[in-house]
Amino acid sequence: MLKGYPFYKYIVNYHPFGNGHINKTYLVETTIGKYILQQINTNVFKKTKYVMQNIDLVTKYIKMRGGKTLEIVKDNHGKKLKKVENCYWRCYKYIEGGETLEISTDDKIFYEIGKAIGDFSFLLTDFPIKKLKITIPNFHNTLKRYEKLFSLINNNAKVNNCFLEIRFVSEHKLLIKEYMNKLNSVPIRVTHNDTKLNNIMINSNTCQAICLIDLDTVMPGSLLFDYGDAIRVAINKAKEDEKDLRKVKINKKIFYSLSKGFLEKTYPILTDIEKELLFESAKIITLECGIRFLTDYLENDVYFKTDYPNHNLIRAKNQFKLVKEMEREENIYQNIIKSILKQLENKGV
Ligand code: ADP
Ligand code: GN1
Ligand code: MG
């Protein structure tokens, strides 16, 4: 596989890398630099060619606008996507001086992350969106995710292990439905769709964000989910798969910092309805993520990588606890957002 790349003869070693839930990622170390080689998960990304086409277009555009982004490395035939025995591979330059984090308590980092996510959208505001393909239809259609979950519960023995969680989800049906209706009035933009903490490269020395990586889900979508998904991971004091749910609590300082960074960058482009739905979006995407983990648990782990049999169930419980925490003090978070928006309005941004 590696033979087809120009750096092949310089390879010193390579090994599995990172903690992504989807692709198989390898770090390749050579005497002429480091590379990230990935086997694309074709169960998740069925339209692999379109995924690479989207990434190619978006990265070229970001570069043209002077932003930092992933750099695709072509193989010896000039190809960006390589098919070897029914597996699809692609390669990126390793982003030197950077790292991704699984969890952090440093609110300054999250301010930088908020800015980076906002910047991503901002840089792509005038991108010719029609050129982008929908690579995963209904990726953030929470209602469809809900329906899929409930289509699986009849005659499924595993339901006994998660009936409280299923009940929790069912109690949110109306909220999901109403939110999906509101989304119809929200502008469609070029969005990342997977803005969790470890999809953002951070400069190890300055702690500033370098750029968003994992561009596989770049598609037309709602900016609200890019904000919401970043919030989902950032504010959780525990990791996404922490079993001790007492540890799943919200770091309010981080909620403030990330929101501030994000809003500073996006304020000029945000519509009123987007401003109104910010917090609800974070709640909905956390619920959606829990629904997806629970669905995968009931389907016997066909989508997300797992380390042990109940891994997806643990992740789902964790996300639902986070939703409960968000709901418990909803007013506080809404007020934080309002105060940031007010500050920006007064500044005349
Ligand atoms: P997945 O879709 O499986 O989440 P990612 O594209 O997010 O795959 O890659 C997994 C991990 O590999 C990232 O979280 C990051 O730590 C690392 N990684 C990916 N691309 C790069 C890159 N160009 N430079 C440095 N690290 C990278
Ligand atoms: C997956 O690929 P990764 O690990 O960055 C998933 C996201 C989920 C996330 C939950 C393509 O992200 O949608 O929110 O796991 N990516 C895809 O941790 O489904
Ligand atoms: Mg990732």
Q: What is the 3-state secondary structure (H, E, C) of the chain?
A: CHHHCCCHHHEEEEEECCCCCCCEEEEEEECCEEEEEEEECCCCCCCHHHHHHHHHHHHHHHHHCCCCCCCEECCCCCCCCEEECCEEEEEEECCCCEECCCCCCCHHHHHHHHHHHHHHHHHCCCCCHHHCCCCCCCCCCHHHHHHHHHHCCCCCHHHHHCHHHHHHHHCCHHHHHHHHHHHCCCCCEEECCCCCHHHEEEECCCCCEEEECCHHHCEEECHHHHHHHHHHHHCECCCCCCCCHHHCCECHHHHHHHHHHHHHHHCCCCCHHHHHHHHHHHHHHHHHHHHHHHHHHHCCCCCCCCCCCCHHHHHHHHHHHHHHHHHHCHHHHHHHHHHHHHHHHHHCC
Report how far ligand 2's centroid is from the alpha carbon of 311 (Å).
Answer: 15
Q: Which two tokens stand for residue 154?
A: 């009849």
Is domain 107-347 annotated with CATH 3.90.1200.10?
A: yes
Q: What pLDDT is stored for residue 257 in this prediction?
A: 98
Report how far ligand 2's centroid is from the alpha carbon of 32 (Å).
Answer: 31
- From the options 3.10.20.600, 2.60.40.1730, 3.20.20.150, 3.30.200.20, give the CATH code of 2-94: 3.30.200.20
Q: What is the 3-state secondary structure (H, E, C) of 271-302?
A: CHHHHHHHHHHHHHHHHHHHHHHHHHHHCCCC
Q: Where are the domains of the chain?
A: 2-94, 107-347
Q: What pLDDT is stored for residue 267 in this prediction?
A: 96
**Equal CATH topology for 2-94 and 107-347:** no
pLDDT tens per residue, the chain (349 residues)? Answer: 899 999 999 999 999 999 999 999 999 999 999 999 999 999 999 999 999 999 999 999 999 999 999 999 999 999 999 999 999 999 999 999 999 999 999 999 999 999 999 999 999 999 999 999 999 999 999 999 999 999 999 999 999 999 999 999 999 999 999 999 999 999 999 999 999 999 999 999 999 999 999 999 999 999 999 999 999 999 999 999 999 999 999 999 999 999 999 999 999 999 999 999 999 999 999 999 999 999 999 999 999 999 999 999 999 999 999 999 999 999 999 999 999 999 999 998 7
Q: What pLDDT is stored for residue 220 in this prediction?
A: 97
Which of 22, 25, 292 for a ligand 2 pocket mutation test, highest count of atoms within 8 Å of Cβ? 22
Report how far ligand 2's centroid is from the alpha carbon of 199 (Å).
Answer: 9
CB-ligand 1 contact for 23 (6 Å cutoff): yes
Q: What pLDDT is stored for residue 333 in this prediction?
A: 98
Report how far ligand 2's centroid is from the alpha carbon of 285 (Å).
Answer: 12
Q: What pLDDT is stored for residue 227 in this prediction?
A: 98
List b or e across 29-39, with b for residues whose CB sees 16 or more CB atoms inside 10 angstroms: ebeeebbbbbb
Q: What pLDDT is stored for residue 348 in this prediction?
A: 83
Long-range contacts of 148-154 (CB under 8 A, 24+ apart): 148/295, 149/291, 149/294, 149/295, 149/298, 152/295, 152/298, 152/299, 153/298
Listed residues: CB within 5 A of ion ligand 3: 20, 199, 214
